[in-house]
Amino acid sequence: MTDAVIRAVELGKTMGKTFGFAESLTGGMISSQIVGVPGASAVFSGSVVSYTNEVKMNVLGVPSSVIEKNTEVSAECAEAMAEGVCRVIGCDYAVAVTGIAGPTGELPGKPVGTVYFGYHGNGKSGSFRRYFEGDRLEIRNKTAECAVETLIAALEGKI
């Protein structure tokens, strides 16, 4: 586990806030790192692994129009996923990830390594795009690391 993962759990405890994740390309990797921290149960509400569009729409409530217009690999989808997971699991903050880990799956204008992050909490929602180089595992690991850093920034009110 990384220092950032430990920091996220400790920050949640200090603030008395809970958090969760909506994971697509990481498939539970972020959640696994969080639960590796002793005492994470005080702040980690859970996650939804929304690998398919059906789960994104039927569980997280991502409107089908968002996916039809922008694809599941989009800022709009990531933001809707973050809002949805907060609603579904009842946490204070959430981060969502959706992207293309490869080695195939490239979309027009969205090469392998494209990842969108969505966040929600403290009355704010937003999203951003990152591009990571590497093989499938490296892209997933970099995504998980960035997701935890995004959670910390949200908890600290920096985003």
Q: Distance (Å, rounded) from C-alpha 72 to C-alpha 97?
A: 10
Give me the pLDDT at residue 38, please. Answer: 96
Between 58 and 2, whose confidence is greater? Answer: 58
Chain segment 121-138, per-residue pLDDT in tens = 999 999 999 999 999 999
**pLDDT the model gives residue 124:** 95
**Binning pLDDT at 50, 70 and 90, where does residue 80 land?**
very high
The Cα 139–Cα 159 span in angstroms is: 23
Domain that holds residue 147: 3-155
Quick one: three-class SS letters along 10-46? HHHHHHCCCEEEEECCCCCHHHHHHHCCCCHHHCEEE
Which pLDDT belongs to residue 62? 98
Q: What's the rounded Cα separation, in Å, for the pair 25 and 136? A: 10
pLDDT, residue 26, reads: 98
Specify the number of domains making up the chain.
1
Reported in sequence order, the residue ranges of the chain that DSSP labels E, i.e. its strands, are 19-23, 44-49, 93-99, 114-121, 124-131
User: Is pLDDT above 90 for 86?
Assistant: yes
Q: What is the mean pLDDT of the chain?
A: 97
With beta carbons less than 8 A apart as the criterion, state whether 49 and 144 touch: no
Q: What is the CATH classification number for the domain harbouring 92?
A: 3.90.950.20
CB atoms within 10 A of CB 104: 8
Q: What is the pLDDT of residues 26-50, one digit of tens each?
A: 999 999 999 999 999 999 999 999 9
DSSP lists the bridge partners of residue 130 as: 115
Stretch 86-109: mean pLDDT: 96
Cα–Cα distance, 49 to 51 (Å, whole number) = 6
Give the C-alpha separation, 52 to 58, whole Å: 10
Average pLDDT over residues 40-66: 98
Answer yes or no: are the C-beta atoms of 4 and 35 closer than 8 Å: no
Confidence (pLDDT) at 11: 98
Q: Any idea what DSSP says for residue 108? A: T
- How confident is residue 92, by pLDDT bands cut at 50, 70 and 90? very high
**pLDDT recorded at residue 133:** 97
Q: Has residue 1 got a pLDDT over 80? A: no
Kindly tell me if the per-residue pLDDT of 56 is higher than 90. Answer: yes
On the question of a cis peptide bond just before residue 108, with omega within 30 degrees of 0, the verdict is: no
